[in-house]
């Protein structure tokens, strides 16, 4: 992601090297600035959450709720149903069905080591999941 942004900015500005620092390429400098900005934003978020972690979570969750009735999410009923269904996809039954389907597909295209590499961690996860 960072390399794509660096290439795009370098092309837009039509620069290869920084004029006042001849040994530093523009892409390197742009990448350093992007990474430093990300670290700064992350540290600001940590400071905001450190004081009141529940207040931040509550504010984010309540932003997607009806202010008059917090048990009712904003948006149409069909959107609520879609997100409920997407949330339920994280269950063990769906994981097991997807694992079996993908393993069967990989076996059908005769790729010998790949099904084993998929099946081993999935079975371990299913066995360790709480009932």
Q: What is the pLDDT of residues 96-106, one digit of tens each?
A: 788 888 888 87
Overall average pLDDT of the 14-30 stretch: 64
**pTM strictly above 0.75:** no
- First vs last C-alpha separation in the chain: 39
pLDDT at 96: 76
Min mean pLDDT across 23-27, 108-112, 119-123 is at 23-27
Beta bridge partners of 13: none
Residue recorded with tokens 């997100």:
83
As a whole number of angstroms, the distance between CA 41 and CA 44 comes to 5
Strand residues in the chain grouped as ranges (E): 17-18, 21-25
Cβ atoms within 10 Å, residue 77: 9
């Amino acid at each position: 992601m960072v390399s794509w942004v660096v290439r795009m900015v370098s092309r837009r500005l039509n620069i290869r090297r920084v004029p006042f620092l001849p040994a530093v390429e523009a892409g390197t400098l742009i990448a350093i600035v992007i990474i430093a900005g990300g670290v700064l934003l992350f540290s600001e978020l940590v400071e905001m959450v450190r004081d009141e972690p529940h207040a931040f979570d509550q504010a984010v969750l309540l932003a997607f709720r009806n202010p008059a009735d917090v048990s009712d999410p904003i948006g149409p009923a069909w959107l609520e149903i879609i997100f409920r269904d997407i949330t339920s996809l994280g269950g063990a039954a769906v994981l097991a069905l997807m694992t079996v389907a993908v393993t069967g597909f990989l076996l059908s295209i005769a790729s010998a080591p790949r099904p084993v590499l998929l099946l081993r961690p999935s079975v371990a996860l299913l066995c360790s999941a709480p009932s």
